[in-house]
Structure 1
């Protein structure tokens, strides 16, 4: 049994949440909890619950409430049996709690530990203690009840801890200060006229380098005090302002000669705020991203590291470098296409040259591997590339358009006056890169491809540079650089033979040099003999995308492979089954069905042999030709079963890991009934929502590649199930364009395999994503198809969910009566199947529809019913959603303080379950209600907290919240930098 009073009143028995009864019973329990171990008198209970107008039978009623509390605390307690927890005492009743039962007790214990702790440790302990608060104490009680001295005293403990934590955090480092900042912001919002708290918030912002924001806060506070109380800022606020102004003057943030203020300016001084213009791009002007959401110059530097051992290619380097000095170079965009067969060194040359000329382009460099010839077909499309470029150029992710043409237009606009270097590596064809070309002069674009991209030469004036295998002199220098001039001279004949057997390709020469480097006792003659022995194999042309490669090139690959130990050779073969750009260590473990201690030696051997590379710590990649070769090895009859088993483990690894991550982020969602993972799969588990979200973000390219690969070659089950599992994550992140692409693939795969359930799920998810993008007709077709399939399958859950999404769509176009009709059908389906949580969702969504209709009293009834149902089944997410809707209805009934009580209840839950998007959504609503109540400063603080979350997520909703902040900030009575 465990209870929480630091925020909404909640109780738990093991993992199940307790229903704490009707309001009066909950109020009594709250009082007994905050006074745990102390007697609570009958007069005190009467005063709290009934005030001055108790019923005649008030004592009997109290006894009944106490009995109900006992049954809640001890469900199996027989009638007329003495309670272990609630004791009758002379003055009334006393609640005695076991250890580790109440969050308030834990909070006090942590605060107590700070008394004898060193200052930095004490600050961290206080941050830990304060993080246990999820709103005002017993936030879901009525405002009148919370005015009881017992609750006011607990709130005073909170404020005392806040003040002490803020004082200690100023000397405990920026990490502690950063952890405390959101907690202190919430305290300041809840206590807007507490000058001690507000002054500490200003000073903490200063510690974090946000002095301008702190000074703006001072002006908000000065205005609020003057408007609401007719007062000027007190000593603590003035002292904080003075400290910050001195800091800004010392660091040059204030104009020279600006006097340090000793008192606040007169309340009637108002001047409109004017933002300074953005600087023009230049080599001397640093580019920084604005903190107010405006687009500002940033300087990306994305080039991969240059190869320390680069040799040769002097003729090609001179040819491309001459572009920069041609007299007509400024008349058209500079564009170079480097083409050649796989393994010939296109990327190495492009990266080396880019580093040499980067100084000509002071606004930075962009780089992308387009994976145009990836064996799995996991090509990186223009839309995905543009999103990454726009993000690198400082565009807030929520401002990036959903449509490809709009993304390209924004990209060209941003590039119009910049001088940048853009490297587009491994393009499939001309259309693959056309949207990525700047529309004006000044930048250099380097494209590498196995194809010649004649279209770009003809239509864009691209300078073509074709790469052949290395000249013999360059190949010789390649060996000298890596093996030493003395050794190559001593074994010159063998070195010549190795060069020719390697086809004079940098990739194959690098494999040979890697082998010799880790086996220094082996002679070059022995190496050449080994390659000759493996010669005569079939052509490896398929791996070169239709090009004819020398048979000896494949011989080098084969020789490197046969030199491996069996565990390393097996792991190399299995690498060919992974479709993503790179592979995490966790995925490798499932792919190989090996534990970490077993896999490290094989991984190390492959790294030393240059057959794979470590893209970044813990993630491993493989050259596309080598990956194709590994796939060819895996396809021979003796390895086919091994490969099929590895592919099944890999698919289940991603499916079950993604399912675990999605369930961690949204535990109340309906989960698919997934089959048990195949033996040897090692799915990941997640201990926190942050860990789950980070995994989904890091693995998104691999997840997309897996879906695409399975859609082409698999059974389709993993395609639609994996797309369904990550649907909610992509929706909350606002990645609706990605969602449409994946769900389209999922539907096609399911249709091809005649999987009706998969087709239904994919059609429903696709329809909802289409609606998000404003594709109303397409959404209607997809959702209608899904509904027909769920009807055919007699899947009541799928039918009800699709009806709800059809209702959501109807509400979106203002057809609220049609929405209610869909909800009536969904409610019937949920009742017939006994799905209580589903019924709770429908009540909430019907309530929201009544809000849209302006029928707020009906909305209250529906939302309250939803809260009760969700609490009955312990659906925290559903309860929070209904509390938020209830607050919205109360807000529109001009009851803002009651609305805030409901909103804070929702906010506490969303923070506990770490649903960041809905936390932000509720913060916006809280700000709206503060504004309606005349508290504009609190409104701005809550909106800014919401905006910070949405910007961090890159969510499209951030723009609307930014507009709210800007609109309200226009009327502020101060100008930034003027005091």
Structure 2
């Protein structure tokens, strides 16, 4: 292939390529990617770019967690794994029942052999058996691994296949150790396997993962409970040799009742250690009799039954307040929770509940994952739920859920007021727990809280619905709409609002139903599912007409306007914008007025009425500035830039697009950031700066692809039709 032909395919100038060919310029990471795509070399050129030139730092990843100080035995398994490595095996699967010590063994061996892998170590929890989350996707793990390998964020590909290819390229001829913990399936693991025969991958799973054995030649270690002598050794270490040796038969009984499972043994020994004056024989008898209390949890030939017995035993040793907190936490919608949420469930203060959380943590019934956040082990969370069902009355459970959801509602209200101060959601009254809601000092703090709690907020709506709090169930998603809209969390947005819709219909609150349908319509419009969008928005409009809710009708009309505009029905969009604007002007609703003006200006621009579009947009910007709504101002800045571009005022257009880009990034508005990048790329391309344009389009594509935004296809279309730039799928 000639230099001229290569220049056309990769959209780099012939002169630039000639300088690289002659050694006058170093090759860049971006050029290597483009050449790999054009030549079909599958990442080989990328691997040849010097590390520092690719922006990679010189430090190596070292992600292995610390191994447990009380690891016992497993000599046979360790020798077996060592023999696998000596035979040249590159993938070792450790499988077995929950609580059997798979992770502990994997980490033990990983630390023993890590010095043989001088290029670093990687670790991830694949969440294969997490009751509150789906197993983590390989795409997300690859993103984390590539960052750990010092790949710049803007150089990480968007698709799983591309990330896996880059991952394999970087690890080619390297000696890296990987531990993939808690895998759910072969599909989850396979994209994470390097191709280098010098790497070692240790996988743990409750499944045997036969596909890895058959196709990748993985070697398998099936982990059984500890042999009795090793189980007793573990107990002796944790409760003290003197005490254990004084009642050896009781120690044997304790180990047997724990089914020799390391998890059960550790929880049991913690409880024994906290009661130094109790006889071990009595405690062993207590554990033996626990089976009658847990018959409903028992399964024949299921070793986890013993684990539940140990949980029960530790639970019953808790102080009254800590035990009640433990079971109430079982009502929480997610395994991870904050101190504030726990306090709401307990109807107490964060300070008091923190004391009992520390008690639970010290007995390994919950784990502290951050300064104010805790997490259940999956089996313990299930057990706590069962205890709540068994020991709390229906009235008590309902009251606790009401306090929790009300706390989330009030906290979400505080957060969303900072995210969108000009917005006025419906009333948020509900049961008022003693616990104060979260308070936020600034925008970023509020946004971070919403990010952490997003899944819990959706789960809280379901809890409210299930426990008869229909009003809370619809108010929570509607209150959190600003966050959903800002971050484009469409799945959570729709899931929560579907629950909200059922709630409004259950109680016959048509005004609330109209709000929920309005929000659903906007979500579906964003996703370009116009049939669903129009269905919800029209129903919302009809209901509000029937209720003589003029303000609500104006917002439904605005939603219909934006949806008609997105669907290309400009005349209908104009009518709905103008109808909404009349009411917003009468009521002096500045936000509604500004948004309608921005929409109408867009329509003027499309019709070629540039002067009218600019005048209308400047009116909108003045309103947004009066509201101090930077997010809305950034939205208008993008439209101003687009209009100035149409008018041929290139530099002014660039200034507005850059302003919009800065505002969007500051606000955490990733879709707005992508739109600003797209528009910047158009102007740069038209002014002959094609390399920069392509870079901006690729950044926009990555963002929209990660969001799951259907507009990503628009960017792909631009890239595929801009004078020799290859289609995105070929890059």
Q: TM-score, normalised by structure 2?
A: 0.74
State how 1:560-709 maps to structure 2 within 5 Å: 560-636=314-390, 638-707=392-461
Q: Contact (CA 8 Å) 1:790, 1:799: kept in 2 or not? A: yes
- Name the residue aligned to 1:842: 596
Mapped pair 1:386 → 2:157: no
**TM-superposition CA deviations, 1:533-566 (whole Å, max 9, x none):** 6563232527x8x974576654433332222222
| Cα drift, residue 475 of structure 1 | 0.7
| Cα drift, residue 842 of structure 1 | 0.6
Per mean C-alpha deviation after superposition, the further-off stretch among 437-446 and 820-829 is: 437-446
| Cα drift, residue 479 of structure 1 | 1.2
Separation in structure 2 between the aligned mates of residue 285 and residue 766 of structure 1, nearest angstrom: 47
- Name the residue aligned to 1:496: 252
Aligned partner of residue 292 in structure 2, secondary structure: coil
State how 1:704-715 maps to structure 2 within 5 Å: 704-707=458-461, 715=469
State how 1:738-887 maps to structure 2 within 5 Å: 739=493, 743=497, 760-775=514-529, 779-780=533-534, 783=537, 787=541, 795-828=549-582, 830=584, 835-867=589-621, 878=632, 881-882=635-636, 885-886=639-640
Mapped pair 1:509 → 2:265: yes
Q: Contact (CA 8 Å) 1:589, 1:595: kept in 2 or not? A: yes
**Structure 2, gaps ≥5 residues long:** 1-22, 34-42, 719-731
Aligned partner of residue 564 in structure 1, secondary structure: coil
Mapped pair 1:527 → 2:283: yes
| Cα drift, residue 858 of structure 1 | 1.9
- Name the residue aligned to 2:122: 365
Q: Contact (CA 8 Å) 2:671, 2:703: kept in 1 or not? A: no
Aligned partner of residue 124 in structure 2, secondary structure: strand
| Cα drift, residue 733 of structure 1 | 3.1
Mapped pair 1:309 → 2:70: yes
**TM-superposition CA deviations, 1:314-337 (whole Å, max 9, x none):** 34444455443446x46xxx3626
Q: Contact (CA 8 Å) 2:94, 2:106: kept in 1 or not? A: no
Separation in structure 2 between the aligned mates of residue 367 and residue 708 of structure 1, nearest angstrom: 30
Separation in structure 1 between the aligned mates of residue 468 and residue 214 of structure 2, nearest angstrom: 40
- Name the residue aligned to 1:86: none
**Structure 1, gaps ≥5 residues long:** 1-257, 259-269, 965-979
| Cα drift, residue 756 of structure 1 | 5.4
| Cα drift, residue 871 of structure 1 | 6.6
Mapped pair 1:324 → 2:81: no
- Name the residue aligned to 1:537: 293
| Cα drift, residue 845 of structure 1 | 1.2
Q: Contact (CA 8 Å) 2:338, 2:372: kept in 1 or not? A: yes
Q: Contact (CA 8 Å) 1:656, 1:677: kept in 2 or not? A: no
| Cα drift, residue 441 of structure 1 | 6.1
Separation in structure 1 between the aligned mates of residue 683 and residue 307 of structure 2, nearest angstrom: 71
Pair 635,959 (structure 1): closer, same or farther in 2 beyond 3 Å: same
Separation in structure 1 between the aligned mates of residue 165 and residue 504 of structure 2, nearest angstrom: 40
Pair 412,897 (structure 1): closer, same or farther in 2 beyond 3 Å: closer
Separation in structure 2 between the aligned mates of residue 554 and residue 918 of structure 1, nearest angstrom: 46
| Cα drift, residue 856 of structure 1 | 0.9
Pair 344,713 (structure 1): closer, same or farther in 2 beyond 3 Å: farther
- Name the residue aligned to 2:105: 349
State how 1:405-554 maps to structure 2 within 5 Å: 407-417=159-169, 418=171, 421-425=178-182, 427=184, 430=185, 434-438=187-191, 442=195, 444=201, 446-449=203-206, 465-532=221-288, 536-539=292-295, 541=297, 548=302, 553-554=307-308
Pair 840,277 (structure 1): closer, same or farther in 2 beyond 3 Å: closer
Q: TM-score, normalised by structure 1?
A: 0.57
Aligned partner of residue 393 in structure 1, secondary structure: helix
Q: Contact (CA 8 Å) 2:335, 2:378: kept in 1 or not? A: no
Pair 756,286 (structure 1): closer, same or farther in 2 beyond 3 Å: farther
Per mean C-alpha deviation after superposition, the further-off stretch among 835-844 and 567-576 is: 835-844
Pair 591,855 (structure 1): closer, same or farther in 2 beyond 3 Å: same
**TM-superposition CA deviations, 1:438-468 (whole Å, max 9, x none):** 286646362423x666787788877665444
Aligned partner of residue 438 in structure 1, secondary structure: helix
Q: When you count helix as a share of all residues, which structure comes out higher?
A: 2
Separation in structure 1 between the aligned mates of residue 194 and residue 666 of structure 2, nearest angstrom: 50
The aligned length equals 673
**TM-superposition CA deviations, 1:785-805 (whole Å, max 9, x none):** 655565566654454434434
Separation in structure 2 between the aligned mates of residue 436 and residue 774 of structure 1, nearest angstrom: 33
Pair 844,778 (structure 1): closer, same or farther in 2 beyond 3 Å: same
- What do you get for the CA RMSD once the two structures are aligned? 5.3
Separation in structure 1 between the aligned mates of residue 514 and residue 579 of structure 2, nearest angstrom: 18
Q: Contact (CA 8 Å) 1:665, 1:689: kept in 2 or not? A: yes
